[in-house]
Amino acid sequence: MAVAVITPSILSRVLDNLSDAVLLFDADFRLRYLNPSAEMLFGGSSRQLVGLPLTELIISRDPLMPVLEESLRSGHPFSKHEQAFELLNGQEITADFSVTILHEVVGRPEILFELKPMDRIMRISREETMVSQQDATRELLRGLAHEIKNPLGGLRGAAQLLEKQLQDDELKEYTRVIIDEADRLQKLVNRLLGPSGMPKLRPLNIHEVLEYVRNLTVNHEGSDILIHRDYDPSIPDIIGDSDLLIQAVLNIVNNARQALGRRGNIILRTRALRKFTIGQQQHRLVLQTQIIDDGPGVPAEIRDKIFFPMITGRAEGTGLGLSIAQRLIHQHGGLIECDSTPGKTVFSIHIPILTQG
């Protein structure tokens, strides 16, 4: 019978070709080794990453350290499904992971950490379906708005003419109601129809858009909301329409402000991501703009639907802001996603950066 001999070269071939990310930490939770899949996932080389503490490499929504410490103490392995993580490079992933404690014969134990990112393809196809459903709903409403626009103008005009003929002030009150309500509907219809005309595309720096929105937003009277910048100044220009992008970002920032109420923090963050997929297409370089707030979070009942038109969690909301923002970002070949829990709501806008070659 042949005896399997595992040579170091077999071992390294296996580790090099594993699709799961494998990381080995020492008992102080500092990285000792990571395989090429992990290097890809974290966007760094062994040389850059080895020695870093786990808490810097991986941020988990459910605190990870207490369970890891317990596992190290007891020696028991553990695993978890579909956990949300934020990685050192700012990337947010959902992954299954498992932890095994390796007991050395001599010396301190080590911690083997395996990460299996959830099939991104599955997420992408879900996103695609959602986006096309949102598009269909939006188009339906735009069609309806278009049909309402002309008769509404007629109604308003007729009420105005009638108002002029009336002598009795009491009767004029009725025509006022018609005119005011027609104006209110007109505004709604205009928002449903959105900006008309083709986007005016030019190379622009995203920070000029963000600074514009920031200037509009800071110094609101009676508000203690702080807006922080976390910009990557080296991000190349994108091709876009600055008015449309300002509108999209403003809609998201306004929501954050409304959710925060009188006080709280909003972070405007920019990053460049390599090899990022939007819809069906993988791009070499993508601009990620995040608007993060520490408010109460999107109400759970509407979390899956907020990009649909007419979905609102606010008494005075029309539920159009995000739907419009999504459409505008779409016109730039991009996508908006939302990840929200109480205390941390992140809206991420991804727009491809066209690179040469």
230-269 positions binding ligand ATP, by CB under 6 A: 251, 255-256, 259
Query: What's the rounded Cα separation, in Å, for the pair 324 and 184?
Result: 18
Alpha carbons 150 and 12: distance in angstroms, whole number: 71
Cα angle: 308, vertex 82, 80; to 5 degrees: 160
State in Å, rounded, how far the first CA of the chain is from the last one: 55
| Interaction pattern, residues 241-280, with Mg ion; x per rule: CB under 5 A | --------------x-------------------------
CB of 64 to Mg ion, least distance (A): 34
Report the residue from 90, 240, 321, 334 that binds Mg ion according to the rule CB under 5 A: 321
**In the numeric block, which tokens belong to residue 6?**
């595992």
Tell me: does residue 348 bind ligand ATP (CB under 6 A): no
Amino acid at 321: G
Secondary element (H or E) of residue 330 = helix 321-330
Stretch that binds ligand ATP, among 52-60, 67-75, 277-285, 292-300 (CB under 6 A): 292-300
**Which residue carries 């520490």 as its tokens?**
294
When asked if residue 293 is in the footprint of ligand ATP (CB under 6 A), the reply is: yes
Is residue 175 at the binding interface for ligand ATP, with CB under 6 A as the rule? no
The nearer residue to ligand ATP, 172 or 303, going by C-beta atoms, is 303
Q: Mark the segment that binds ligand ATP (CB under 6 A) among 46-54, 179-187, 276-284, 308-316.
A: 308-316
In the bound state with Mg ion, the residue whose beta carbon lies nearer, of 321 and 352, is 321
User: What residue has token string 């929200």?
Assistant: 340
Task: Print the SS3 string covering 333-347.
Answer: CCEEEEEEECCEEEE
Q: Residue 84 and residue 93: Cα distance in Å, rounded?
A: 6
Please report, as ranges, the residues that interact with ligand ATP according to CB under 6 A. 251, 255-256, 259, 293, 295, 297-299, 306, 311-314, 317-323, 345
Please report, as ranges, the residues that interact with Mg ion according to CB under 5 A. 255, 321
